Amino acid sequence: MFNEKWTGVSDMNGTKQYFAQKSVWAGLLAVVAIVALLGWAFVGSTVNPVPKRIPVALVAADKGADVPGKGRMNIGDVLKQKLTTEMTPTGEKSPFEWTVLDDEQAAAEGLDRQTFYAVVVLPETLSADFVALLSPQPKPAEVRVLVNQGKSGVAATMVTQAVGKMLEGANAALREQALGQLQQMKGDAVSIAQAKALAAPLAVTFQTVHPILPNTANGNAPVVLTQLAWISALAATVLLFVAAGKAGAGASGGWGIAASQLIAGLAYAVVASAAILAVVGGLFGLDVPDVTETGLFLTLAVYSFFLLQSAIVNWIGLKGMPVLVLLFFFGLPILNLPPEFLPDAARDWLYSWIPFRFSAEGLRDLFYFRQGLNVGGPASVLGWIAAAGAVVLLASGAKRTKRAPEPSASVDAVR
């Protein structure tokens, strides 16, 4: 009985000591902080994406036309005013940032260079075709909308819907205008052909440029490959850092070890990029348009990520790994949205500098544009990241050399 009582007292004391620790209660705050941090990373940037300042272009090429008894009119100017207004008919701020161009060639170049998500083309004969609605052989005036799907599938869908609604409103206004002119000219008599044409005075056609091809993860192939590149580089960073620690134990060749990490990292990057393409392409059927170009760019991305990560880990040790993991978690959600859909804080303070962005942008050009016009910028940024990471990585060799024991001291100790 004494032993049972003593054991009970000991258990009570152990419980009191356990809950008396500050770390137990501080852990509650840590859990809340972790949930808040990861919640912001996964949900904060994507829970309610509101598009703002989406760059689109308007080709206002309409030359106008003469209306019998009414003088000259220009439907293109009317549509230009309706489309580029800062406020929508419902009183909300327009999500678009319009650039007005004079010719379609400049618009095509802007689409190729990923400057615009879409282009609305008002042709030279727009007003003339509208006036023809009043003739015995009417036909709708054509307006074309070029949607740059390869730049972002999410934005392409949104732009198509929004521009379509805006042109529907313009269609209704032009229908009323044309009916009024017809009644003034012919009274109430409207032919069947004219009635059909007046149902939709504007014939709006949507054309997809730089389309997202099948078997490319619904347009997310650049993001998927970027994620795999970061994880591959992270694994290489840990493995080569541990190997460097073993090789440098009691040695003084800090510079040589750092240089060896740099060289081995390149080999890891080549193997990792080849493995990524082999797995996603050969095993899962991802359609990679140009394996050689994509493989070279992916190698650059993996190597730049490796050098950036190794530069951090070599100086502060594996304690830097949580920073790299958090960077991945924060970067993962925002890569799937266009920057114009992100909150200002996420776009300005995270997306603007996060290294994943440049890998995804370069791969997007290789997958959906295939002209080499947009890959140079991201490649140069990744190159600068790699160069800076290599310098910092090599500089860590001085720290390793400084910490190594002096050979003479070892000899004296033996004596």
Same-domain check for residues 196 and 304: no
Structure tokens at 63: 């030359």
How many other C-beta atoms lie within 10 A of the C-beta of residue 386?
22
Give the phi and the psi of residue 334 in degrees, each rounded to 5. -75, -15
- Confidence class of residue 140 from pLDDT cuts 50, 70 and 90? confident
Same-domain check for residues 119 and 259: no
CB 276 within 8 A of CB 229: yes
H helices, E strands: number in the chain: 15, 7
pLDDT of residue 29: 81
CB 97 within 8 A of CB 54: yes
How many other C-beta atoms lie within 10 A of the C-beta of residue 377?
13
Mark which of 209, 241, 266 sits at the end of a domain: 209
Q: Give, in degrees to the nearest 5, the angle at Cα 98 between 92 and 103.
A: 150
44 belongs to a structural domain: no
Mark which of 209, 225, 249 sits at the end of a domain: 209
> What are the pLDDT digits (tens) for 62-104?
888 877 666 788 888 989 988 888 766 666 788 999 999 988 9
- Confidence class of residue 9 from pLDDT cuts 50, 70 and 90? low
9 belongs to a structural domain: no
* Residue 65, SS3 per DSSP: strand
Give the span between the Cα atoms of 99 and 107, in whole angstroms.
9
> Average pLDDT for residues 43-51, to the nearest whole number?
68
Same-domain check for residues 137 and 254: no
Same-domain check for residues 202 and 227: no
Residue 251 confidence (pLDDT) above 50: no
> What are the pLDDT digits (tens) for 180-220?
666 665 555 566 666 666 667 788 999 999 999 889 888 99
Contacts of 137 by beta carbon, 8 Å cutoff, 6+ apart:
193
How many residues are present in the chain? 415
Same-domain check for residues 168 and 244: no
Give the phi and the psi of residue 139 in degrees, each rounded to 5. -150, 145
176 belongs to a structural domain: yes
Same-domain check for residues 90 and 154: yes
Lowest pLDDT segment from 110-124, 185-199, 273-287, 391-405: 185-199
Q: Give, in degrees to the nearest 5, the angle at Cα 361 between 356 and 367.
A: 125
Residue 141 confidence (pLDDT) above 90: no
Lowest pLDDT segment from 46-55, 298-307, 337-346: 46-55
Name the amino acid, one letter, at 114: Q
The candidate with the shortest Cα–Cα distance to 275, out of 239, 310, 311, 231, is 231
265 belongs to a structural domain: yes
Split into its structural domains, the chain has a count of 2
Same-domain check for residues 252 and 386: yes
Same-domain check for residues 202 and 232: no
Same-domain check for residues 245 and 375: yes
Name the amino acid, one letter, at 267: A
Same-domain check for residues 173 and 315: no
414 belongs to a structural domain: no
Same-domain check for residues 306 and 199: no
Which H or E element spans position 276?
helix 254-277
pLDDT of residue 396: 86
Please provide the DSSP assignment of 72-92 as one string.
Answer: EE-HHHHHHHHHS-SB-TTSP
78: domain range? 54-209
33 belongs to a structural domain: no
Residue 298 confidence (pLDDT) above 90: yes
Mark which of 164, 179, 209 sits at the end of a domain: 209
Tokens 């004494």, located at residue: 2
CA atoms 251, 253, 255, 261: torsion sign: negative
Give the span between the Cα atoms of 165 and 187, in whole angstroms.
31
Sheet containing 141-148: order of strands: 96-101, 54-60, 118-122, 141-148, 202-209
49 belongs to a structural domain: no
Name the amino acid, one letter, at 140: P
The candidate with the shortest Cα–Cα distance to 297, out of 389, 354, 211, 377, is 377
> Average pLDDT for residues 27-52, to the nearest whole number?
69
Same-domain check for residues 107 and 241: no
> What are the pLDDT digits (tens) for 111-134?
999 999 999 999 998 888 888 777
User: Residue 203: which CATH number?
Assistant: 3.40.1710.10
409 belongs to a structural domain: no
- When computed from its CA atoms, the radius of gyration of the chain, rounded to whole angstroms, is 32
Q: Which residue has the higher pLDDT, 3 or 73?
A: 73
